[in-house]
Copies of this chain bind each other. A is one copy, B any other.
Amino acid sequence: MTYPVNGKVPVPTLERLATYLRYLIDLEHDKVSTISSGEVEEQTGVNAAQFRKDLSYFGEFGKPGVGYDVAELQSRITKILKIDQAQPVILVGAGNLGSALVGYPGLQEHQFNVVAVFDNNVAKIGRKLWNLEILDLDLLAEVNKTAKARIAILAVPRGAAQTVTDTLIGAGVVAILNFAPTSLKVPKNVFVRNVSFLQELAVLSYHLSHDEEISAEFPPSPE
């Protein structure tokens, strides 16, 4: 009923909050001061009622007849998502993907600070990834005693994923963004979000061949 939260917030709602936030930041750059839920729908494709309901989990944000104050809404969403202040994050896996992730400017912009990078490959340990030294995986627990990251990004091969996960949890990590194509076994108090490119491509591939309007865009085999 008031600001914080009542019971449970649907995960899809949280996902969309991040979307709104991105959009609001753009609007602020464009000096737009107010928006309506209808405008949000036009821009983001999210149904206007959906937008309002999403916000309603966290209190009242708009003025009837007017809309939402861009700056205030932006500020309140960052607070809800707890990205209003810097958060330490550790990365495990300094391969191509890990490297790309650390270099992704959006992380900093959204207050996720990669404070340490780990790998178990001797050839990599000691080298620099952007401005961070790649550390021995064995040091993880020790390093995180001071780094105190509670979020980790896991970008290691499937075979190593579960072992590393156990290490992470032992080191105090309670939220893992998993890029390894395997399902991690974790205690109930640890949150995992899986990202799987192959899964996404597979879904696209399926639609390609099963949706009528599409087939015959390129004829099956003209020659």
Contact = CB atoms under 8 A, between A and B. Distances in A.
Interface residues of A, number: 68
A203 B14 contact: yes
Contact of A204 (B97, B177, B206, B213): B177
Given A112-B201, A191-B211, 5 more contacts: A45-B183, A110-B201, A172-B218, A189-B211, A195-B200
B97 A198 contact: no
Closest 3 CB pairs of A and B: A96-B100, A175-B204, A18-B202
Given A96-B104, A208-B151, A200 B177 contact: yes
B22 A182 contact: yes
Interface string A112-153: 100000000000000000000000000000000000101100
Copy total for this chain: 2
Contacts of A11: 203
Interface of A: 5, 9, 11, 14-15, 17-19, 21-22, 43-45, 80-83, 87, 89, 95-97, 99-101, 103-104, 106-107, 110, 112, 148, 150-151, 172, 174-177, 181-183, 185, 188-189, 191, 193, 195-211, 213-214, 217-218
A104 B110 contact: no
Contact of A174 (B97, B100, B203, B214): B214
A198 B96 contact: no
A183 to B, nearest CB: 5
A174 B208 contact: yes
19 contacts: A14-B206, A15-B196, A21-B202, A22-B181, A22-B198, A45-B183, A45-B185, A81-B205, A87-B205, A89-B201, A96-B99, A96-B104, A107-B197, A174-B217, A175-B207, A177-B197, A177-B200, A189-B211, A191-B204
A174 B211 CA distance: 11
Contacts of A15: 196, 199, 202-203
A174 B208 CA distance: 7
A199 B13 CA distance: 11
Nearest to A184: B45
Contact of A81 (B17, B19, B191, B206): B206
